[in-house]
């Protein structure tokens, strides 16, 4: 019988959900921001780009600065900085202050991703680690589905700062819950900044990082422009597109869970299969997507097999010696964020150069091909002559004991 996942994993998933809602919230209040701050739509877009850039750069920096803290303490402090950043955004009517707010919360989000994945490894036995990772990463999917429309509804019903206040309040509530419920895990062995950076010199680690970068680029290059493609190429109504995107989010959630189950023993095979299916879906959409039914099926296939490969990508990272470190996972999330930005940028460049509205599909197909080549060319993941494409034995907690909360209650890892 499989052990249940600790409740703390659900708390971490909610934290990821809040971070993603924060990332997307300004897109739901574009009209209100342009009117109240007297800025262009492009400047609202820069607020999203700033958040992503802060995730990619600020997240690893925060992790390096606070790598000696116990994970629980680190999470609570990240929540505190996040609340400060959201309230700063709510109180201002100056664009540069709002930009600073986005940089602060973006850096927090990047660090939160890393510590959440690392805690999944420490809180669960090896047979459930990927289930825990999948649950935490499901916060990304839920945030993507709910974050933007939630911000839009709130900003239209009240004023746009209310969205910032609500996220700050939710973060405060879950910071308190984290203080009460997250386990007291021993911090990682203290390492100098030079040691953390030196650990990144492992060539195999960068093969895996590159795989993640191009897998995510392949998924987001077309997704960034999915609405105009469905509208202009597939002749779908806005109502139908909205419903399809909702089902797309559900497909991501389902795919996320299935990948986690399969990737425990077959991470490389899952990635190859997923990339093959995504490539097929992109090609079918490009050739036959003028039919709305085919376009819908292809879109759902991309959601089911694309971003949902995240647990398999994380599984490969986890098997390297560096895969037990928070900093390693923070850098991984940073490169995934860069992959999102890069995929969207190249797709936008193609559109600006005058290519058709469905050209992002070919961009995604190209990235999927590169990702496949990298996976196939990656050297075998061997440590001490043991193949670590399959799960390895790791110490979950010192002496197989983790204590929970202030009560000192403990459990023994299996």
Task: Assign residue 260 the CATH number of its domain.
Answer: 1.20.1250.20
Q: How confident is the model at residue 192 (pLDDT cuts 50, 70, 90)?
A: low
Asked if 80 and 211 sit in the same domain, the reply is no
Asked if 212 and 164 sit in the same domain, the reply is no
Asked if 118 and 262 sit in the same domain, the reply is no
Asked if 54 and 158 sit in the same domain, the reply is yes
d(CA 51, CA 347): 20
- How high is the pLDDT of residue 387? 44
Asked if 186 and 209 sit in the same domain, the reply is no
Asked if 175 and 251 sit in the same domain, the reply is no
Asked if 304 and 320 sit in the same domain, the reply is yes
The answer to the question of residue 398 being in a domain is no
Asked if 247 and 336 sit in the same domain, the reply is yes
| Domain end marker among 190, 217, 245 | 190
Please give the torsion angle defined by the CA atoms of residues 332, 333, 335 and 338, in that order, rounded to the nearest 10 degrees.
180
Q: To which residue do tokens 């799960």 refer?
A: 391
The answer to the question of residue 410 being in a domain is no
Domain with 175 in it: 1-190
Count of domains forming the chain:
2
- How high is the pLDDT of residue 260? 84
Asked if 84 and 120 sit in the same domain, the reply is yes
Helical axes 161-181 vs 7-25, angle rounded to 10°:
160
d(CA 78, CA 405): 18
- How high is the pLDDT of residue 74? 92
The answer to the question of residue 98 being in a domain is yes
Asked if 176 and 223 sit in the same domain, the reply is no
| Domain end marker among 139, 159, 190 | 190
The answer to the question of residue 407 being in a domain is no
| Domain end marker among 131, 155, 190 | 190
Contact call for residues 60 and 331 (beta carbons, < 8 A): yes
The answer to the question of residue 406 being in a domain is no
- How high is the pLDDT of residue 388? 40
The answer to the question of residue 231 being in a domain is yes
Which residues make Cβ contacts (< 8 Å) with residue 169, sequence separation at least 6? none
Q: Record the tokens describing residue 322, joined without a space.
A: 């560096």
Bridge partner list, 401: 412
Distance of CA 274 to the CA centre of its chain: 18
Q: Model confidence over 202-243: pLDDT tens digits?
A: 788 899 999 999 999 999 889 878 888 998 899 998 788 878
The answer to the question of residue 130 being in a domain is yes
The answer to the question of residue 395 being in a domain is no
Contact call for residues 311 and 134 (beta carbons, < 8 A): yes
3-state DSSP of 102-151 = HHHHHHHHHHHHHHHHHHHHHHCCCCCHHHHHHHHHHHHHHHHHHHHHHH
Considering Cα of 146, then 152, then 157, then 160, what sign does the dihedral take? positive
Asked if 174 and 259 sit in the same domain, the reply is no
Asked if 110 and 239 sit in the same domain, the reply is no
Span 167-171, mean pLDDT? Answer: 96
Q: Which comes out higher in pLDDT, residue 85 or 247? A: 85
Q: Model confidence over 340-386: pLDDT tens digits?
A: 888 888 888 888 888 998 999 999 999 999 999 999 998 887 543 34
- How high is the pLDDT of residue 323? 66
């Amino acid at each position: 019988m499989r052990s249940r996942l600790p409740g703390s994993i659900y708390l971490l998933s909610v934290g990821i959900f809040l971070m993603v809602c924060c990332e997307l919230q300004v897109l739901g209040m574009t009209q209100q921001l342009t009117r109240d701050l007297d800025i262009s739509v492009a400047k609202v877009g820069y607020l999203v780009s700033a958040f992503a850039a802060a995730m990619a750069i600020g997240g690893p920096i925060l992790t390096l600065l606070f790598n000696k803290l116990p994970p629980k303490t680190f999470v609570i402090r990240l929540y505190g900085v996040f609340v400060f950043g959201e309230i700063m955004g709510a109180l201002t009517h100056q664009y540069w202050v709002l930009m600073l707010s986005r940089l602060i919360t973006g850096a927090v989000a990047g660090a939160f991703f890393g510590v959440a994945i690392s805690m999944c490894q420490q809180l669960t036995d090896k047979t459930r680690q990927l289930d825990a990772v999948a649950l935490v990463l499901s916060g990304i999917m839920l945030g993507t589905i709910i974050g933007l429309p939630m911000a839009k509804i709130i900003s239209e019903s009240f004023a746009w700062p209310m969205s910032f206040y609500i996220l700050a309040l939710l973060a405060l509530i879950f910071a308190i819950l984290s203080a009460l419920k997250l386990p007291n895990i021993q911090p990682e062995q203290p390492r100098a900044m030079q040691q953390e950076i030196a650990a990144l010199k492992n060539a195999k680690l960068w093969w895996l990082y590159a795989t993640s970068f191009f897998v995510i680029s392949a998924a987001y290059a077309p997704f960034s422009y999915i609405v105009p493609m469905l509208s202009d190429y597939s002749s779908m109504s806005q109502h139908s597109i909205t419903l399809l995107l909702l089902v797309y989010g559900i497909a991501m959630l389902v795919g996320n869970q299935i990948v986690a189950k399969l990737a425990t023993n077959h991470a490389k095979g899952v990635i190859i299969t997923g990339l093959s299916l995504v490539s097929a879906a992109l090609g079918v959409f490009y050739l036959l997507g003028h039919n709305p039914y085919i376009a819908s099926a292809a879109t759902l296939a991309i959601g089911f097999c694309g971003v949902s490969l995240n647990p398999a990508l994380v599984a490969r990272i986890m098997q390297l010696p560096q895969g037990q470190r928070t900093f390693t996972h923070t850098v991984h999330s940073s490169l995934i964020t860069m992959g999102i930005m890069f995929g969207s940028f190249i797709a936008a460049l193609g559109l600006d150069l005058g290519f058709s509205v469905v050209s992002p599909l070919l961009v995604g197909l190209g990235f999927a091909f590169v990702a496949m080549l990298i996976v196939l060319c990656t050297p075998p993941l061997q440590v001490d002559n043991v193949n670590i494409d399959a799960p390895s034995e790791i110490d979950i907690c010192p002496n197989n004991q983790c204590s929970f909360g202030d009560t000192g209650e403990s459990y023994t890892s299996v």
